[in-house]
Amino acid sequence: MKLEKYSRPKSDKCGNIRFILWYLVNCVFFKSSLPLPCRVRIFLLRLFGAKIGRSLFIQHSVNIKYPWRLEVGDNVWIGENVWIDNLDWVRIGSNSCISQGACVFTGNHDYKKETFDFFSKPVTIEESVWVGAKSIICPGAVLKSHSVLCIGSVVKKDTESNMVYSGNPAKPIRKRY
């Protein structure tokens, strides 16, 4: 790869007051381990453009890149040390759980090109999905309703509904119900 040929993609980062303010809020109220009530974090997410349903439980030490590219349904649980690197949209369906240390990535670089081209794809986590601790969700993945991603698994493509997945890459191991 020839990084001198790399050109940064346009983003809503550089020089944008909204990004700068969010960066500060994210550091103080989200990424830190301050024991703040969930309603404070929910208020701040909504203030910065996130679409949040009822009864979100969001732990401390959560890192969210761009709240204005986040939709969360009702009765969702987000555990500590979750990283939502949403350079593109992340949609989390109702009654879903993203466990401790899980990572949701929407962007990456094309390793096949010398220019290290950046790409992004949205991630969708449908309703009643359980993402196990330390799991990784890659750009473009759709976790179908009632699916389970076991601890430490890596999902790179769409899952099937009501299936349990495990491993790297994640493979179906059995039906959930």
Assign residue 171 the CATH number of its domain.
2.160.10.10
**Lowest-pLDDT range, 9-23, 41-55, 57-71?**
9-23
Do residues 70 and 45 make contact, with C-beta atoms less than 8 angstroms apart? yes
Task: Quote the pLDDT of residue 114.
Answer: 86
- Residue 39: is it exposed, middle or buried by C-beta count within 10 angstroms (0-12/13-18/19+)? exposed
pLDDT band at 10 (very low <50, low <70, confident <90, very high): low
- List the domain range (segments joined by +) for residue 112: 3-175
Task: Quote the pLDDT of residue 111.
Answer: 87
pLDDT band at 16 (very low <50, low <70, confident <90, very high): confident
Task: Quote the pLDDT of residue 15.
Answer: 59
pLDDT band at 51 (very low <50, low <70, confident <90, very high): very high
User: For residue 100, what are its two tokens?
Assistant: 């401790």
**Lowest-pLDDT range, 32-41, 120-129, 133-142?**
32-41
Is the four-CA dihedral 108, 109, 110, 111 of positive or negative sign?
negative
Total domains, the chain: 1
Task: Quote the pLDDT of residue 2.
Answer: 77
Task: Quote the pLDDT of residue 11.
Answer: 61
Q: Residue holding tokens 């196990």?
A: 132
Cα gap 166→73, rounded to integer Å: 25
User: What share of the chain in percent tops pLDDT 90?
Assistant: 81
Task: Quote the pLDDT of residue 14.
Answer: 54
